[in-house]
Amino acid sequence: MIKIKGGVKIDLLRPQALLALAVAEQVYREEYEVDCVLTSGNDGRHKVGSKHYQGNAVDIRVWNLPNGADDGHQAAALIAKSLGDNYDVIFELDHIHIEYDPDMS
């Protein structure tokens, strides 16, 4: 199941970001048996030029994974493998950042 953290905006998310979120949810459910929690969509503060502001990026929680950050690395790799070269999947300390970025492939 996808859960959305309170205050997270999803109204401008593009289909590519929604697809990424669906793939992440499948990885979380099948590999870890936990919910996928969206912690940022097209909201919050991000670096200048962030794909979040274009609706092409999402952040998902890692501390709810059974082994926290240790599983976060593996989850990011599994998500990246499923999404392919048009996406950047970056493990950060407290979340996984996923963005649609076909120009950087």
The 10 Å Cβ neighbour count of residue 70 is 11
pLDDT of residue 104: 61
How much is the pLDDT for 105? 47
Nearest to 25 by CA among 72, 95, 79: 79
What's the pLDDT tens digit per position in 45-67? Answer: 767 667 877 889 999 999 999 99
Query: Hey, which residues does 4 pair with through a beta bridge?
Result: 38
Give the residue carrying structure tokens 């959305």: 4
Identify the CA nearest to 102 among candidates 25, 14, 28: 14
Q: Residue 44: pLDDT band by 50, 70, 90 thresholds?
A: low
- Quick: pLDDT tens for 66-80: 998 889 999 999 999
Q: Read off the pLDDT of each residue in 71-96 and give the average, rounded to a whole number.
A: 95
Look over the chain and give the mean of its residue pLDDT values, rounded to a whole number: 91
Structural domains in the chain? 2-104 (3.30.1380.10)
User: Sheet of 87-91: strands edge to edge?
Assistant: 2-4, 36-40, 57-61, 95-100, 87-91
